[in-house]
């Protein structure tokens, strides 16, 4: 967008005596031809025709923004800037919150986590192998494990996906998860409104042959 900025000289007046007005403008035309004439109050058609004929630029009963001192302008600009900064910060925080809920520093591992190993993961973890008894995994983000867990899990993310793991010790946001609730083939554990919700993702296969 292209734009220019002008300061315009405005002559504001109210007409009381039409003759006197015309006389005044006739004599001072040289001065007023560069001015914008702002007329308040009534404006008769004669005067309107006179001003158009002259020609003089004029407005009738219109509000015109009046310039302020530089200091007043600067302080207002400053306030505006601070406000926009604050808004931007809030927006960024919202985006950050959203992104941690979705995905955050995903680590993908396909190694067996053996006894004695302590994994501390900043962010999310996708593990495609077993967690053996005596091993510990701690994630700040979400946790998905596709095989049996016999060790300890500490997850502070938004959700966990865990296979049926009767021997595991699982703590989700500081609360111990009952292994009996993780009976299905794949279970989702999530935090909703400060409550831990466990829902089956893949149901346990029922073996009719038994």
Partner 1 sequence: MGIVIAVISGKGGVGKTTATANLGLGIAMNDKNCIVVDFDIGQRNLDMILGLENRVVYDLVQVMDGDAKLKQAIIKSKVNENLHFLAASQSKDKSVLESKKVEKLVAELRESYDYVILDSPAGIESGFEHTIEFADAAIVVVNPEVSSIRDADRAIGILDSKSQKVKNGEEVAKYLIINRISAEMVQSGEMLKSEDILNILNIKLVGKVPEDKGVVDASNQGKPVILDKKSEAGQAYTRIAGRLCGQKVDMKDIEISNVGLFKKITGMFR
Site for partner 1, rule CB under 8 A = 112, 114-117, 129-130, 132-134, 150
Cβ nearer to partner 1, comparing 114 with 203: 114
Q: Which strands make up the sheet holding 186-192, listed edge to edge?
A: 107-109, 125-127, 143-145, 159-163, 186-192, 195-202
At its nearest, how many Å lie between partner 1 and the CB of residue 136?
12
At its nearest, how many Å lie between partner 1 and the CB of residue 147?
9
- Is the Cβ–Cβ distance between 54 and 29 less than 8 Å? yes
Cβ nearer to partner 1, comparing 104 with 133: 133
At its nearest, how many Å lie between partner 1 and the CB of residue 193?
38
In angstroms, what CA-CA distances link 152 with 65, 108, 135?
70, 18, 6
Cβ nearer to partner 1, comparing 57 with 132: 132
Cβ nearer to partner 1, comparing 67 with 116: 116
- Is the Cβ–Cβ distance between 152 and 135 less than 8 Å? yes
Q: In terms of C-beta distances under 8 Å and separation of at least 24 residues, what long-range contacts does 141-146 make, across chains too?
A: 141/100, 141/103, 141/104, 141/105, 141/106, 142/103, 142/104
At its nearest, how many Å lie between partner 1 and the CB of residue 113?
9
Cβ nearer to partner 1, comparing 133 with 158: 133
At its nearest, how many Å lie between partner 1 and the CB of residue 116?
4
Cβ nearer to partner 1, comparing 33 with 114: 114
- Is the Cβ–Cβ distance between 206 and 189 less than 8 Å? no
Residue 159: how many other CB atoms lie within 10 Å = 19
- Is the Cβ–Cβ distance between 13 and 38 less than 8 Å? yes
How far apart (Å, rounded) are the C-alpha atoms in residues 23 and 169? Answer: 100
At its nearest, how many Å lie between partner 1 and the CB of residue 93?
40
């Amino acid at each position: 967008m292209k734009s220019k900025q002008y300061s315009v000289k405005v002559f504001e007046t109210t007409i009381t005596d039409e003759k006197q007005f015309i006389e005044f403008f006739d004599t001072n035309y040289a001065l007023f031809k560069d001015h914008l004439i702002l007329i308040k109050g009534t404006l008769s058609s004669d005067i309107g025709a006179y001003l158009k004929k002259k020609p003089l630029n004029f407005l009738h009963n219109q509000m015109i923004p009046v310039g302020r001192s530089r200091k007043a302008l600067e302080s207002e600009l400053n306030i505006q800037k601070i406000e926009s900064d604050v808004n931007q910060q809030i927006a960024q925080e919202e985006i950050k919150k959203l992104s941690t809920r979705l995905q955050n520093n995903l680590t993908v591992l396909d190694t067996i986590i053996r006894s004695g190993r302590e994994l501390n993961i900043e962010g999310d973890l996708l593990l495609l192998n077993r967690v053996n008894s005596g091993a510990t995994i701690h994630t700040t983000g979400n946790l998905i494990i596709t095989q049996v867990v016999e060790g300890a899990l500490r997850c502070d993310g938004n959700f966990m996906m865990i296979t049926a793991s009767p021997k595991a010790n699982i703590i989700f946001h500081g609360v111990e998860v009952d292994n009996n609730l993780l009976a299905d083939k794949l279970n989702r554990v999530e935090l909703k409104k400060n409550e831990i919700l466990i829902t089956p993702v893949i149901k346990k296969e029922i073996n009719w042959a038994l």
